Amino acid sequence: MAIDLTDEQRAFTEAVAEFAKREAGTREQRDALTDGGRHAHHQGIYQQMADLGWIEGAIESMSDTVLFLEQIGYGMLPVGGFPVSAIVAAAIERSGSEEQKKTVLGGFTTGRSYSIAMSEPEAGSDVANLSCRAVADDDGYVINGQKTWISNAHFADAILLVARTGGAPGDHDGLTMLLVPADTPGLRISGIDTMGGKEVNDLYFTDCRVPADAVVGTAGKGWWQLMAGLNVERLILAGLMLGTARRAFDDTLAYIKERKQFGRPIGSFQVLRHRIADLATEIECCRLLVHRTAELVDRNPQQVLPRESSMVKLKVTEVARETALAGMQMMGGYGYATEYDMERHVRSTLVSTIYGGTSEIQRDIIGKTYGL
Cα–Cα distance, 324 to 153 (Å, whole number): 27
Q: What's at 192, amino acid-wise?
A: I
Cα separation, 113 vs 95, whole angstroms: 19
CA 104 distance to own-chain centroid: 18
For 290, 347, 350, the CA distances from 194, given in Å and listed in that order, are 28, 9, 12
Separation of alpha carbons 340 and 327, rounded Å: 11
**How many CA atoms are closer than 13 Å to the CA of 14, on its beta-carbon side?**
7
Q: Which of 233, 308, 322, 343 is catalytic?
A: 233
CA distances from 340 to 1, 108, 266, 345 (A): 35, 33, 18, 10
What whole-number distance in Å separates Cα of residue 352 and Cα of residue 237? 8
Q: Are 189 and 156 in contact (CB under 8 A)?
A: no
Q: How many of the other CB atoms lie within 10 Å of CB of 136?
A: 14
| Residue 258 annotated among the catalytic residues of the structure | no
Cβ neighbours of residue 133 under 8 Å, at least 6 residues apart?
Answer: 143, 144, 145, 163, 164, 165
DSSP string, 20-50: HHHHH-SHHHHHHHHTTTTBSB-HHHHHHHH
Which residues are the active-site residues? 233
